[in-house]
Structure formats: structure tokens, C-alpha cells
């Protein structure tokens, strides 16, 4: 006489299998998201100003350039339509907008106001 699988196990085995598969894949995806967030955090915290994919080629950026890049990323993420308008400005006007942002304790409201004043002039 062979081993007999109880009825409830036979009936609920597919459901149990689905739960196991679902929870195991969600655990891996959550780990990936967590790691991506950590990598983004590390990537955004480059205070040394050194950017390089190849150790032989080291490019040092001015801290002001890094701040401007952070400002542009913040503008693109928080106000994408305003960022499109910002990209249409001249380099000189972009610098004015950034300087307004930097000199006013990173006040995005004042910077966007100046941005639109420069755009509509």
C-alpha cells in the first residue's frame, strides 16, 4: 500500500503553491527596490565632486556644478513641465534661475517665479 495524500492537501496544493511562489518573488523584488534606493542614495551623496566609471579617467566637478545638477534633477522630478520651460532658457538665464534658488535657501518657488519671468520677457 502506497502513501495516500490527504484530501485537503490535494485540493489546496495549487493554492498553496501559488502563495509560496507569490511571496518568494515579492521578497526578491522588495530586496531589489531596497538595493536600488540605497544605490541612488549613495549616488546622490557625492560630496567629493569626483565622477568616474573608469578609475583611470577621473573627472572632478566644481561643487557649484554639482549643486546645479541637483537643482535640475529636483526641478525635473518635482515640476516636469516647469523643467521643460527651464530647458528652453539660455545658459545665462538658467544660471540666473539657479543662483536665485541657491541664494534663497533653495526656495523653489522663488526660482520658478524668476524662471517664468525670464521666459516671458
| DSSP codes, 46-98 | --S-EE-SSTTS-EEPPHHHHHHHHHHHHHHHH-HHHHHHHHTS-HHHHHHHH
Which of 5-9, 65-69, 93-97 bottoms out in mean pLDDT, i.e. has the lowest? 5-9
Whether 13 is covered by a domain: the verdict is yes
Whole-number Å distance between alpha carbons of 99 and 71? 10
Q: Based on the domain organization, do 41 and 88 belong to the same domain?
A: no
Whole-number Å distance between alpha carbons of 82 and 112? 7
Q: Which domain holds residue 107?
A: 61-120
Residue 54 has pLDDT above 70, yes or no: no
Which residue is associated with the grid cell 518657488? 109
The total of structural domains in the chain comes to 2
Residue 47 banded pLDDT, cuts 50, 70, 90: very low
pLDDT at 44 (0 to 100): 55
Overall pTM surpassing 0.85 (yes/no): no
Query: Which of the pair, 97 or 36, is modelled with greater confidence?
Result: 97
Q: Based on the domain organization, do 35 and 76 belong to the same domain?
A: no
Query: Which of the pair, 27 or 63, is modelled with greater confidence?
Result: 63
Q: Based on the domain organization, do 38 and 81 belong to the same domain?
A: no
Amino acid at each position: 500500500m502506497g502513501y495516500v495524500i490527504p484530501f485537503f492537501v490535494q485540493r489546496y496544493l495549487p493554492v498553496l503553491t501559488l502563495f509560496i511562489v507569490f511571496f518568494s518573488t515579492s521578497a526578491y523584488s522588495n530586496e531589489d527596490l531596497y538595493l536600488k534606493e540605497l544605490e541612488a542614495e549613495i549616488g546622490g551623496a557625492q560630496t567629493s565632486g569626483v565622477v568616474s566609471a573608469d578609475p583611470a579617467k577621473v573627472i572632478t566637478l566644481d561643487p557649484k556644478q554639482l549643486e546645479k545638477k541637483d537643482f535640475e534633477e529636483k526641478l525635473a522630478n518635482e515640476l516636469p513641465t516647469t523643467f521643460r520651460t527651464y530647458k528652453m532658457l539660455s545658459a545665462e538665464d538658467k544660471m540666473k534661475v539657479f543662483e536665485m534658488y541657491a541664494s534663497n535657501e533653495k526656495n523653489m518657488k522663488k526660482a520658478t517665479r524668476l524662471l517664468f519671468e525670464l521666459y516671458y520677457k
